[in-house]
Amino acid sequence: MLRVEDLHAWIEGKEIVKGVDLEVNKREIVVVTGPNGSGKSTLARTIMGDPKVEVKEGSIIFKGEDITDLPPEERFERGIFLTFQVPPEFEGVKIGEFLMKVKGREDLETLKELKEIFRRVGLKEEFLFRELHRGLSGGERKRLELAQALFLGKDMIILDEIDSGVDIESVEMMISILKDLKKRAGILYITHNPLTLKLLEDERIIRMKEGRVVENGR
């Protein structure tokens, strides 16, 4: 579903991703790990089309089409979703209202679906009326990112450290949700968490170092 070929990505005149090849198929979780600063988040942002990142070489193919030069909203429309490692705050934007607008469905049935997802990720219903990411605890932000990934129903889901700062029981809950989500989507999962790596030990894992993939296997 997603194929990244010899990708070289630059930020502010510096090469951060230095020739990465990567494939994520439908019904597959690919785990990405590697030291701080090795380019994992930049790779994710490049796939999503962050305008701060400049692709100087290589391509990103999604569902058979080259999306390397498409704006992020177009990639989203085609079915890619990225969670933020550090989600930005939006004053005055109510979580529930916002998510339903983004999904393009604001009926009662959709609200029910959203409430059920909040229950699954362990967020109380009152969070629907909180402001987007404002004043949320670290773990609550991560739960909300996961809820968005579930609710928006995209085919390719990129999760950037949604398990950092999350308690052990909740990491297990998140991974079991992802294994379920895998039945209908491809997942690229960036993590440092030893428990996650253990729980996903049957999946393919990629290790990055200094902007390159140095290991790829099980």
Ligand X SMILES: Nc1ncnc2c1ncn2[C@@H]1O[C@H](COP(=O)(O)OP(=O)(O)OP(=O)(O)O)[C@@H](O)[C@H]1O
- Contact 138/87 with Cβ under 8 angstroms? no
CA distances 33 to 71, 74, 88, 206, Å, are 26, 27, 23, 6
> Residue 11 binds which entry of ligand X, Mg ion, none, with Cβ cut-offs from 5 to 8 Å by kind?
ligand X
Distance in Å, CB of 74 to ligand X, minimum? 22
Report the residue number, 85 or 216, with the smaller CB distance to Mg ion: 85
> Residue 16 binds which entry of ligand X, Mg ion, none, with Cβ cut-offs from 5 to 8 Å by kind?
ligand X
CA separation for the pair 24, 172 (Å, rounded): 23
Quick note: the x/- pattern for ligand X over 66-105, rule CB under 6 A, is: -------------------x--------------------
By CB under 5 A, what part of segment 81-140 binds Mg ion? Answer: 85
Q: Per DSSP, which regions of 12-119 are E strands?
A: 14-24, 29-33, 53-62, 65-66, 80-82
Quick note: the x/- pattern for Mg ion over 41-80, rule CB under 5 A, is: x---------------------------------------
- Contact 127/99 with Cβ under 8 angstroms? no
Report the residue number, 84 or 127, with the smaller CB distance to Mg ion: 84
CA separation for the pair 2, 155 (Å, rounded): 10
Angle at 13 between CA 9 and CA 14, to 5 degrees: 60
Residues of the shown chain interacting with ligand X in the complex, contacts defined by CB under 6 A: 11-12, 16, 36-42, 52, 85
